Amino acid sequence: MLTDAIAAEGYKFRRNQSVLFWGFAFVPLAVLVFNLMLETYLGLHNPGIVGRRAGEVALGPQILHGIGLAGSSFAQIFFVAGAAAIFAGEYRWETWRLLAPRNSRINLLAAKFAVYAMACAASLAGLGLGALLQTVYGAVLNGMTMAMPPAAFGGQLLGLFLATWAELLVVGVFTAAIAVAGRAMTGALLAGIFFSFAQGIAMAIVHPWEAPLRYFAMLPAMCAYLLRAWASGQQIAPGVFADPALLLPASGFLLLWIAAGGAVAAALFQAQDLPRE
Amino acid sequence: MTALDRLSLSIPQGGVYGILGANGTGKSTFFRLCLDLLRPGGGDLTVLGGRPGSAQVRRAIGAMIETPRYYPFLTAAETLVMLGRASGIAAPDPAYWLGRVGLADAAHRKVHHFSVGMKQRLGIAAALVSRPQILILDEPTSGMDPAGIQDMRALMRELAARDGITIILSSHLLDEVQRVCDRVAIFNRGKLVAEERVDALVAEREKLRLLAASPHALLAALGAGAVPDGDGVLVAITRAQAPALLRELIAGGAEIIEARWVGGGLEKFYLEQTGAAHAD
């Protein structure tokens, strides 16, 4: 059963401390530590910085910005590393022989997707929590007041969280498909990183506010960027907001990428011989 | 190339069943197909009346294929818990199974540090943790020291006798197969060429070799049933007939120096079967 496969994969994942740390805990921790150090430095050594000693800080945008950091290619290096370890681990350790006779292949692969998705969600939650802590710390240190999020913040948070999560899932399924096709962790890692950076570079050339729809279909990161900007109410260019007409196609493209990547990985794995990994 | 050609194998429930064959004769392919690790390029495969990979077949079969590999970050007990959960066992009992294979003291050590023999034992515990009816062991003593091999043989017999598990053993060590197995099948070029009870085929081929002070006198006393064999005499009788024959010879004045059974090993049968198949 799928629940058995998820229980086994989750048990194994929780004990794989290096993947747990570098894949999913490092980004929130590193961002938190860096921001706390920055707040401390600015608070103690540069008290005269204009605008930092007075006024108030808005908690909501800080949390949204913190979660949105997972959309950067640099942060995604670590998520790709986590995905490569999860999806290519059995090839790396030659352990499919142990696992494959115990549950159906679809369940075993789906369990890996589930664990990766849960780990990404926890990591995003960690980024949000880190942003909250950093904001509170900075406000206290600088004597600023905090503006509580408005009532609409819940919807904004959910929208941004889902868009960023979906982007990480796209990166994950792409890495999974490469891991299964290549049966190698390094190949999956490099391909995943390339996939993430290539989209980043493409987005610097093809701007989301003027790109035709087909570019959104090719660049899931741009879809996620657009959805994040819409959810948080931020401009995507000076004076330009996300086009509401693009929201539905962008959401569809993200889901399509996840479904297609997962289907490719599953089809390859179903047909694969596992005499030696 | 046809890896397995119209192979049909009926393995009786209980006991230890040996599968012999040279490298490349289809033994490992057969096991891997049964375990759904390999997908047949053509044809159909039915195991226990079901399709390999079906829940029913998966539940029934446990296996250790060659020297198993493990996750370096898990301990022996954690490995069994994880594999048990993957098999749908809500509360695997790693302490019990590690105790059965003699690894109780190593339960909380990382598997990464295990010797080959310990990994083989853990492989058997991993195969048993889901309490299968059938245990497939492909070269289970490969890389083990003599004491470990002896322990492994005892464990196989114990699992068959005490737990009622049907063990299917593949090994290149014919002596090991002869000592452990109740029945044996021989594969050659993807086909089943022979299948027999081990004790029966050993009995068919073994002869009593007698060494006496006067071989000529012994030959004369035994008559047509005996043939010279170097400085001794070979007699084709069953084990049950041996005491009476020896009593009779000694009573007749023969000076018997040595009496031992020869030629009953599995090796000769195996070579006959695979040699005949090569000649085809």
The Cα of B24 is separated from the nearest Cα of chain A by a number of Å equal to 14
Tell me the chain B residues in contact with residue A85 when contact means C-beta distances shorter than 8 Å. none
- Provide mean pLDDT across the span A79-105: 93
For B36, which of A12, A18, A100 is closest by C-beta distance?
A100
| In chain A, % of residues over pLDDT 70 | 96
The pLDDT of residue A138 is 85
Contact B39 A275 (CB under 8 A): no
**Phi first, then psi: what are they for A136, rounded to 5°?**
-65, -45
For B88, which of A4, A15, A18 is closest by C-beta distance?
A4
Is A216 an 8 Å CB contact of chain B? no
Most A CBs within 10 Å, among B85, B114, B124, to test the A interface: B85
CA distance A198 to B123: 44
Half-sphere exposure of A48 (CA within 13 A, CB side): 0
Contact B17, B183 (CB under 8 A): yes
Tell whether the torsion through CA atoms of B257, B263, B264 and B266 is positive or negative. Answer: positive
pLDDT in tens, A131-178: 999 989 988 887 778 888 888 889 999 999 999 999 999 999 999 999
Check: complex ipTM more than 0.90: no
Q: Which residues of chain B have pLDDT under 50?
A: 276-280
pLDDT over 60 (residue A50): no
Contact A11 B81 (CB under 8 A): yes
More confident site: A90 or A54: A90
Contact B126 A98 (CB under 8 A): yes
The pLDDT of residue A168 is 97
Q: How far is CA B221 from the centre of its chain?
A: 40
Half-sphere exposure of A34 (CA within 13 A, CB side): 8
Q: Which residues are within 8 A (CB) of A217 and not within 5 positions of it... i.e. 6 or more apart? A: A249, A253, A256
The pLDDT of residue B278 is 46
Tell me the chain A residues in contact with residue B72 when contact means C-beta distances shorter than 8 Å. 93
The pLDDT of residue B279 is 40
CA distance B153 to B138: 13
For A101, which of B63, B73, B78 is closest by C-beta distance?
B63
Most A CBs within 10 Å, among B27, B71, B81, to test the A interface: B71
Is B83 an 8 Å CB contact of chain A? yes
* Chain A to chain B Cβ contacts (< 8 Å): 84
pLDDT over 50 (residue A263): yes
Tell me the chain B residues in contact with residue A274 when contact means C-beta distances shorter than 8 Å. 32, 37-38
The Cβ of residue A126 has, within 10 Å, a number of other Cβ atoms equal to 20
Nearest one of B175, B171, B139, B143 to B21, comparing CA atoms: B171
More confident site: A267 or B51: A267
Q: Give the burial class of A137: count Cβ atoms within 10 A of its Cβ; 0-12 exposed, 13-18 middle, 19 or more buried.
A: middle
The pLDDT of residue B44 is 78
pLDDT in tens, A35-45: 999 888 887 77
The Cβ of residue A188 has, within 10 Å, a number of other Cβ atoms equal to 29
Q: Edge-to-edge strands of the sheet including B134-138? A: B61-65, B134-138, B166-170, B16-20, B183-188, B191-197
CA distance A66 to A128: 5
The pLDDT of residue B276 is 47
CA distance B219 to B234: 9
Mean pLDDT of chain A: 90
CA distance B99 to B111: 16
The Cα of A1 is separated from the nearest Cα of chain B by a number of Å equal to 7
The pLDDT of residue B166 is 93
Contact B71 A8 (CB under 8 A): no
CA distance A171 to B104: 42
The Cα of B241 is separated from the nearest Cα of chain A by a number of Å equal to 49
Tell me the chain B residues in contact with residue A17 when contact means C-beta distances shorter than 8 Å. 73
More confident site: A180 or B203: A180
Tell me the chain A residues in contact with residue B87 when contact means C-beta distances shorter than 8 Å. 4, 102-103
The Cα of A101 is separated from the nearest Cα of chain B by a number of Å equal to 5
Look up tokens 């048993």; give the residue.
B128
Is A65 an 8 Å CB contact of chain B? no
Most A CBs within 10 Å, among B82, B110, B128, B137, to test the A interface: B82
Contact B86 A97 (CB under 8 A): no
The pLDDT of residue B252 is 85
Most B CBs within 10 Å, among A102, A107, A269, A277, to test the B interface: A102
Q: How far is CA B74 from the centre of its chain?
A: 31
